Amino acid sequence: MRLGVLISGTGSNMLALLAAHRAGRLGGAEPVVVVANRPDARGLLAAAEAGVPSVCVDHTRFGDRAAFEDALTAELRGRGVEWVALAGFMRLLGPRFLDAFPGRVVNIHPALLPAFPGVHAQRQALEYGVKVAGCTVHFVDGGVDTGPIIAQRAVEVRDDDDEAALAARILAAEHQLYPEVIRALAEGRVTRDGRRVRVRPG
Ligand code: GRF
Protein backbone atom coordinates (compact mmCIF):
# COMPACT_ATOMS: atom_id res chain seq x y z
CA MET A 1 0.00 0.00 0.00
CA ARG A 2 1.78 3.09 -1.26
CA LEU A 3 1.04 5.95 1.10
CA GLY A 4 1.32 9.68 0.50
CA VAL A 5 1.46 11.88 3.59
CA LEU A 6 0.25 15.47 3.39
CA ILE A 7 1.48 18.04 5.90
CA SER A 8 1.45 21.79 6.46
CA GLY A 9 3.70 22.22 9.47
CA THR A 10 5.81 20.33 12.00
CA GLY A 11 4.95 16.90 10.73
CA SER A 12 5.33 14.98 13.98
CA ASN A 13 2.54 12.59 12.99
CA MET A 14 4.21 12.10 9.63
CA LEU A 15 7.47 11.28 11.43
CA ALA A 16 5.61 8.83 13.66
CA LEU A 17 4.38 7.07 10.51
CA LEU A 18 7.90 6.96 9.06
CA ALA A 19 9.28 5.61 12.35
CA ALA A 20 6.56 2.96 12.52
CA HIS A 21 7.39 1.91 8.97
CA ARG A 22 11.09 1.61 9.82
CA ALA A 23 10.19 -0.46 12.87
CA GLY A 24 8.03 -2.81 10.77
CA ARG A 25 4.84 -1.63 12.47
CA LEU A 26 2.99 -0.31 9.41
CA GLY A 27 1.97 -3.62 7.89
CA GLY A 28 2.27 -3.43 4.13
CA ALA A 29 1.95 0.36 4.11
CA GLU A 30 4.93 2.26 2.76
CA PRO A 31 5.18 6.06 2.98
CA VAL A 32 6.55 6.89 -0.47
CA VAL A 33 6.23 10.68 -0.50
CA VAL A 34 5.58 13.59 1.86
CA VAL A 35 3.87 16.60 0.32
CA ALA A 36 3.46 20.00 1.94
CA ASN A 37 1.34 22.86 0.71
CA ARG A 38 3.74 25.39 2.23
CA PRO A 39 7.46 25.72 1.43
CA ASP A 40 8.21 26.58 5.08
CA ALA A 41 6.62 23.42 6.49
CA ARG A 42 9.23 22.12 8.94
CA GLY A 43 8.26 18.54 8.25
CA LEU A 44 9.56 18.76 4.67
CA LEU A 45 13.16 18.87 5.84
CA ALA A 46 12.56 16.23 8.48
CA ALA A 47 11.09 13.87 5.90
CA ALA A 48 14.02 14.41 3.56
CA GLU A 49 16.42 13.73 6.45
CA ALA A 50 14.53 10.52 7.08
CA GLY A 51 15.16 9.55 3.46
CA VAL A 52 11.63 9.94 2.14
CA PRO A 53 11.05 12.07 -0.97
CA SER A 54 9.46 15.34 0.08
CA VAL A 55 7.95 17.93 -2.21
CA CYS A 56 6.09 21.18 -1.89
CA VAL A 57 2.96 21.92 -3.87
CA ASP A 58 2.47 25.54 -2.82
CA HIS A 59 -1.25 26.30 -2.87
CA THR A 60 -0.60 30.05 -3.24
CA ARG A 61 0.82 29.44 -6.70
CA PHE A 62 -2.45 28.19 -8.14
CA GLY A 63 -5.36 30.28 -9.36
CA ASP A 64 -8.03 28.17 -7.72
CA ARG A 65 -8.58 25.13 -5.59
CA ALA A 66 -9.21 22.81 -8.53
CA ALA A 67 -5.83 23.66 -10.08
CA PHE A 68 -4.08 23.10 -6.74
CA GLU A 69 -5.83 19.77 -6.24
CA ASP A 70 -4.99 18.66 -9.76
CA ALA A 71 -1.31 19.39 -9.12
CA LEU A 72 -1.46 17.56 -5.80
CA THR A 73 -3.13 14.58 -7.44
CA ALA A 74 -0.58 14.50 -10.25
CA GLU A 75 2.30 14.58 -7.75
CA LEU A 76 0.85 11.71 -5.75
CA ARG A 77 -0.20 9.62 -8.74
CA GLY A 78 3.21 10.15 -10.30
CA ARG A 79 4.64 8.31 -7.33
CA GLY A 80 2.08 5.55 -7.44
CA VAL A 81 0.30 6.67 -4.29
CA GLU A 82 -2.83 4.64 -3.48
CA TRP A 83 -3.77 5.96 -0.03
CA VAL A 84 -3.39 9.45 1.40
CA ALA A 85 -2.87 10.30 5.07
CA LEU A 86 -3.43 13.90 6.11
CA ALA A 87 -1.17 14.79 9.01
CA GLY A 88 -1.68 18.38 10.06
CA PHE A 89 -2.63 19.35 6.51
CA MET A 90 -4.38 22.68 6.82
CA ARG A 91 -6.25 22.91 3.51
CA LEU A 92 -9.74 21.67 2.88
CA LEU A 93 -9.82 19.11 0.09
CA GLY A 94 -12.72 19.15 -2.34
CA PRO A 95 -14.40 16.53 -4.53
CA ARG A 96 -11.79 16.92 -7.23
CA PHE A 97 -9.10 15.50 -4.97
CA LEU A 98 -11.31 13.12 -3.02
CA ASP A 99 -12.69 11.58 -6.23
CA ALA A 100 -9.12 10.86 -7.33
CA PHE A 101 -8.59 8.73 -4.19
CA PRO A 102 -12.13 7.53 -3.47
CA GLY A 103 -12.50 6.34 0.12
CA ARG A 104 -8.74 6.30 0.47
CA VAL A 105 -8.02 9.58 2.24
CA VAL A 106 -7.75 9.62 6.04
CA ASN A 107 -7.09 12.36 8.57
CA ILE A 108 -6.12 12.68 12.21
CA HIS A 109 -7.82 15.27 14.39
CA PRO A 110 -6.89 16.23 17.96
CA ALA A 111 -10.34 15.83 19.50
CA LEU A 112 -12.95 13.17 20.10
CA LEU A 113 -15.15 13.97 17.12
CA PRO A 114 -17.85 15.01 16.59
CA ALA A 115 -16.85 17.33 19.45
CA PHE A 116 -14.54 20.21 18.57
CA PRO A 117 -13.95 19.98 14.81
CA GLY A 118 -11.90 22.58 12.98
CA VAL A 119 -8.99 24.58 14.30
CA HIS A 120 -7.87 24.95 17.94
CA ALA A 121 -9.62 21.76 18.97
CA GLN A 122 -7.65 21.51 22.22
CA ARG A 123 -8.54 25.09 23.17
CA GLN A 124 -12.18 24.38 22.37
CA ALA A 125 -12.06 21.33 24.66
CA LEU A 126 -10.54 23.30 27.55
CA GLU A 127 -12.98 26.18 27.14
CA TYR A 128 -15.91 23.77 27.09
CA GLY A 129 -14.62 22.12 30.26
CA VAL A 130 -14.61 18.49 29.16
CA LYS A 131 -12.82 16.00 31.43
CA VAL A 132 -11.85 13.60 28.66
CA ALA A 133 -10.21 14.67 25.40
CA GLY A 134 -8.41 12.70 22.72
CA CYS A 135 -7.87 12.15 19.03
CA THR A 136 -9.74 10.69 16.09
CA VAL A 137 -8.67 9.08 12.82
CA HIS A 138 -11.40 9.32 10.22
CA PHE A 139 -12.07 8.99 6.53
CA VAL A 140 -12.13 12.35 4.79
CA ASP A 141 -15.30 13.56 3.16
CA GLY A 142 -16.08 17.03 1.86
CA GLY A 143 -16.75 18.51 5.31
CA VAL A 144 -14.56 19.77 8.12
CA ASP A 145 -13.65 16.70 10.19
CA THR A 146 -17.02 15.09 9.42
CA GLY A 147 -16.05 11.80 7.74
CA PRO A 148 -16.74 8.32 9.16
CA ILE A 149 -14.70 7.62 12.29
CA ILE A 150 -12.20 4.77 12.13
CA ALA A 151 -10.65 4.93 15.60
CA GLN A 152 -10.36 7.18 18.62
CA ARG A 153 -8.15 7.37 21.67
CA ALA A 154 -9.01 9.19 24.86
CA VAL A 155 -6.72 11.10 27.21
CA GLU A 156 -7.58 12.76 30.50
CA VAL A 157 -7.91 16.50 30.93
CA ARG A 158 -6.16 17.61 34.09
CA ASP A 159 -7.24 20.53 36.25
CA ASP A 160 -3.99 22.40 35.70
CA ASP A 161 -3.84 21.80 31.92
CA ASP A 162 -3.20 24.71 29.63
CA GLU A 163 -3.58 24.38 25.87
CA ALA A 164 0.04 23.34 25.34
CA ALA A 165 -0.06 20.64 28.02
CA LEU A 166 -3.28 19.14 26.71
CA ALA A 167 -2.08 19.33 23.09
CA ALA A 168 1.12 17.49 24.01
CA ARG A 169 -0.81 14.71 25.78
CA ILE A 170 -3.16 14.34 22.81
CA LEU A 171 -0.25 14.40 20.36
CA ALA A 172 1.42 11.50 22.15
CA ALA A 173 -1.80 9.52 21.68
CA GLU A 174 -1.95 10.58 18.01
CA HIS A 175 1.55 9.23 17.42
CA GLN A 176 0.38 5.80 18.62
CA LEU A 177 -3.05 5.74 17.03
CA TYR A 178 -2.23 6.88 13.50
CA PRO A 179 0.30 4.13 12.72
CA GLU A 180 -2.07 1.54 14.22
CA VAL A 181 -4.87 2.66 11.92
CA ILE A 182 -2.67 2.81 8.83
CA ARG A 183 -1.49 -0.70 9.59
CA ALA A 184 -5.08 -1.91 9.99
CA LEU A 185 -5.97 -0.34 6.64
CA ALA A 186 -2.95 -1.93 4.97
CA GLU A 187 -3.85 -5.32 6.43
CA GLY A 188 -7.42 -5.06 5.15
CA ARG A 189 -8.85 -5.09 8.67
CA VAL A 190 -11.01 -1.98 8.20
CA THR A 191 -14.51 -2.40 6.80
CA ARG A 192 -17.04 0.30 6.24
CA ASP A 193 -20.82 0.25 6.12
CA GLY A 194 -22.06 3.78 5.65
CA ARG A 195 -20.83 5.72 8.67
CA ARG A 196 -20.13 2.57 10.67
CA VAL A 197 -16.50 1.55 10.43
CA ARG A 198 -15.16 -1.66 11.97
CA VAL A 199 -11.53 -2.39 12.69
CA ARG A 200 -10.81 -6.06 13.27
CA PRO A 201 -8.05 -6.75 15.79
CA GLY A 202 -4.66 -7.62 14.30
C1 GRF B 1 -2.08 17.34 15.03
O2 GRF B 1 -2.59 17.70 16.29
C3 GRF B 1 -3.18 16.80 14.15
O4 GRF B 1 -4.13 16.07 14.85
C5 GRF B 1 -3.79 18.05 13.60
O6 GRF B 1 -2.72 18.93 13.37
C7 GRF B 1 -1.64 18.59 14.25
C8 GRF B 1 -0.45 18.33 13.38
O9 GRF B 1 0.70 18.13 14.13
N10 GRF B 1 -4.58 17.75 12.42
P11 GRF B 1 2.00 17.55 13.43
O12 GRF B 1 2.30 18.49 12.23
O13 GRF B 1 1.72 16.16 12.99
O14 GRF B 1 3.08 17.65 14.46
Q: What is the pLDDT of residues 73-122, one digit of tens each?
A: 999 999 999 999 999 999 999 999 999 999 999 999 999 999 999 999 99
Q: Is the CB of 182 under 6 A from ligand 1?
A: no
**Mean pLDDT along residues 67-71:** 97
* Nearest atom, ligand 1, residue 8 CA: 12
- Residue 13 alpha carbon to ligand 1 centre in Å: 6
Q: Ligand 1 pocket, 134 CB below 6 A?
A: no
Task: Please state, in angstroms and rounded to a whole number, the distance separating the CA atoms of residues 54 and 137.
Answer: 23
The question of whether 59 is a catalytic residue gets the answer no
From 171, 175, 177, 181, mutation site for ligand 1 pocket: most ligand atoms within 8 A of C-beta:
171
Average pLDDT for 147-156: 98
Average pLDDT over residues 39-49: 96
The pLDDT mean for the chain works out to 97
- What pLDDT does residue 101 have? 98
Buried b (16+ CB within 10 A) or exposed e, 9-48: bebbbbbbbbebbeeeebbebebbbbbbbbeebebbebbe
User: Terminal CA-to-CA distance of the chain, rounded, Å?
Assistant: 17
Whole-number Å distance, alpha carbon 141 to ligand 1 midpoint, is: 18
pLDDT for residue 20: 98
pLDDT bracket for residue 124 (50, 70, 90) = very high
Q: Which residues contact 121 (CB under 8 A, 6 or more apart)?
A: 109, 110, 111
Instruction: State the greatest distance between any 2 C-alpha atoms of the chain, in Å, as a whole number.
Output: 49
pLDDT at 165: 98
- pLDDT interval class at 39 (50, 70, 90): very high
- pLDDT confidence tier of residue 193, bands split at 50, 70 and 90: very high
User: Nearest 5°: phi and psi at 155?
Assistant: -135, 155
Nearest CA to ligand 1 atom 6: 88
Q: Measured from the CB, is residue 13 less than 6 Å from ligand 1?
A: yes
Q: What percent of the chain has pLDDT over 70?
A: 100
Work out the percent of the chain whose per-residue pLDDT is above 90.
100
- The reported pLDDT for the residue numbered 76 is 98
pLDDT for the residue 90 = 95
Q: Which residue lies with its CA nearest to atom 7 of ligand 1? A: 88
Residue-wise pLDDT for 19-32, tens only, equals 999 999 999 999 99
15: Cβ contacts below 8 Å, ≥ 6 apart: 43, 46, 47, 50
Q: Quick check: 76 and 36 in contact, CB under 8 A?
A: no
Q: Tell me which residue has its CA closest to atom 12 in ligand 1.
A: 11
